[in-house]
Amino acid sequence: MRNPAHIMITGASSGIGEALALDYAGPGIRLSLTGRDAGRLASVADACRAKGALVTADVLNVADRAAMADWLAARDDEAPIDLAIANAGISAGSGGAVESAEQSREIFAVNLDGVLNSIHPLIPAMTARGRGQIALMASLASFRGLPGAASYCGSKAAVRVYGEALRLDLAPQGVGVTVICPGFVVSRITAKNRFPMPFLMQAAPAARLIRQRLTRNPARIAFPWPTYVVSWLLGVLPPGLVDGVLMRAPRKG
């Protein structure tokens, strides 16, 4: 969608979500933002208002299905949501061991259930209007399971494949779906990494790239291209060829 007037962004209190909110903010733009840190979210909202945007910002956990449904219905009633960006996500290290069941379930609850909770309340309204766009935040880590990040990779792989299929289902009804697969972007998630991150990007240029490409309603936005190529290859090569290499790769602490 080239000129969305009402943009909804989850996970807008930091990282790519914050950068997207600031990039879209301007006169005549309505932003509906969620985040889990009240202080940071308020700061983002104030910065967006200073740029002329009309902003609603509420502290919500995307894993709360009922709360998200109520909030999204209220925001869409105020003004039809043109673009929904399901961006909220979390990650955690395993300390060199296997992830606990609790940690795995929490990551899937936010990264996968949170995405579903952020878009499904809007799909009936968008299809009824015959317009709208949905953007799902996956990751280049969705192409191959990596050591120390089983739940993160698995949840993002589910988001990517789900979004690719949903695009085919919603396209005939006038609703676009794009899956976003960033590489390493400066955020609270990557701040926990204690290993070199190739082609690490700042959040602002990453947000600009995403916004520009979303105007063309592509099936996938993946960047930066060198990391994308490597990630894609790791996913298509036989596991026997890459397992040995990945076993020696650094793990999230």
Q: Which overall architecture, per CATH, does domain 6-247 show?
A: 3-Layer(aba) Sandwich (3.40)
Q: Is 34 helix (H, G, I), strand (E, B) or coil?
A: strand
pLDDT, residue 218, reads: 98
CA distance 183 to 162: 19
CA distances from 113 to 62, 156, 158, 221, 238 (A): 8, 11, 10, 21, 30
At 251, list the tokens: 């793990």
Amino acid found at 161: V
According to DSSP, the residues that pair with 223 across neighbouring strands are 182
Task: Return the closest-CA partner of residue 94 out of 158, 146, 157.
Answer: 146
pLDDT, residue 189, reads: 65
pLDDT, residue 146, reads: 87
Q: Are the CB atoms for 239 and 48 separated by under 8 Å?
A: no
Q: Which one-letter DSSP state was computed for residue 100?
A: P
**Residue appearing with tokens 């600009």:** 208
Domain ranges of the chain: 6-247
Termini Cα distance of the chain: 39
pLDDT, residue 196, reads: 65
pLDDT, residue 27, reads: 98
At 54, list the tokens: 């009309």
Enumerate the active-site residues: 152
CA distance 223 to 2: 20
pLDDT, residue 70, reads: 98
pLDDT, residue 231, reads: 93
Q: Is 77 helix (H, G, I), strand (E, B) or coil?
A: helix
pLDDT per residue as tens, the chain (253 positions) = 789 999 999 999 999 999 999 999 999 999 999 999 999 999 999 999 999 999 999 999 999 999 999 999 999 999 999 999 999 999 886 656 788 999 999 999 999 999 999 999 999 999 999 999 999 999 999 999 988 889 999 999 999 999 999 999 999 999 999 999 999 888 666 556 665 667 679 999 999 999 999 999 999 999 999 999 999 999 999 988 888 777 766 665 5
pLDDT, residue 96, reads: 63
Task: Return the closest-CA partner of residue 56 out of 37, 85, 35.
Answer: 35
pLDDT, residue 206, reads: 96
Amino acid found at 184: F
CA distance 132 to 92: 33
**Residue appearing with tokens 């945007």:** 53
Q: Are the CB atoms for 121 and 69 separated by under 8 Å?
A: yes
Global pTM reads 0.92
